[in-house]
Amino acid sequence: MKVAFVGAGSWGTSLARVLAPSVASIILWSRDREVVEEIHTKRVNSVYLPAFELPANIQATTDIRAIDDADIIVISTPTQYIAGVIREHNLNLSDKPVVSVSKGIERGTLRRISELLHEEAGVPEHNFAVLTGPSHAEEVARETPTTVVAVSSNDTIGRLVQDLFLTPYFRVYHSRDVVGAELGGAFKNVIAISAGIVEGIGFGDNTKAALMTRGLAELVRLGEVLGADAMTFSGLSGLGDLIVTCTSKFSRNRHVGELIGQGQTLMDIQNSMRMVAEGVASTESIRDLGRRHNVELPIVEQVYRILFDRVAPLTAIQELMLRESKAEIWH
Question: pLDDT tens digits for 157-187?
Answer: 999 999 999 999 999 999 999 999 999 999 9
Query: What pLDDT was estimated at residue 330?
Result: 62
Positions in the chain whose pLDDT score sits under 50: none
Query: What pLDDT was estimated at residue 93?
Result: 97
Q: How many CB atoms lie within 10 A of CB 247?
A: 16
Query: What pLDDT was estimated at residue 129?
Result: 98
Query: What pLDDT was estimated at residue 272?
Result: 81
% of the chain at pLDDT higher than 90: 91
Q: How far apart are CA 225 and CA 223, in angstroms?
A: 5
Q: How far apart are CA 276 and CA 44, in angstroms?
A: 20
Query: What pLDDT was estimated at residue 329?
Result: 73
Burial (Cβ within 10 Å: 0-12, 13-18, ≥19) of residue 38: middle
Q: How many CB atoms lie within 10 A of CB 43?
A: 13
Query: What pLDDT was estimated at residue 125?
Result: 97
Q: How far apart are CA 47 and CA 275, in angstroms?
A: 9
Smallest CA-to-CA distance from 39 within 65, 63, 21, 59 is with: 59
188 is catalytic: yes
- Look at residue 85 and give its three-state secondary structure: helix
Domains and CATH numbers, the chain: 2-176 (3.40.50.720), 180-321 (1.10.1040.10)
Query: What is each CA distance from 246 to 154, 259, 324, in whole angstroms?
Result: 31, 14, 26
Q: Which of 188, 208, 249, 326 is catalytic?
A: 188
Whether the CA torsion 7, 74, 279, 89 is positive or negative: it is positive
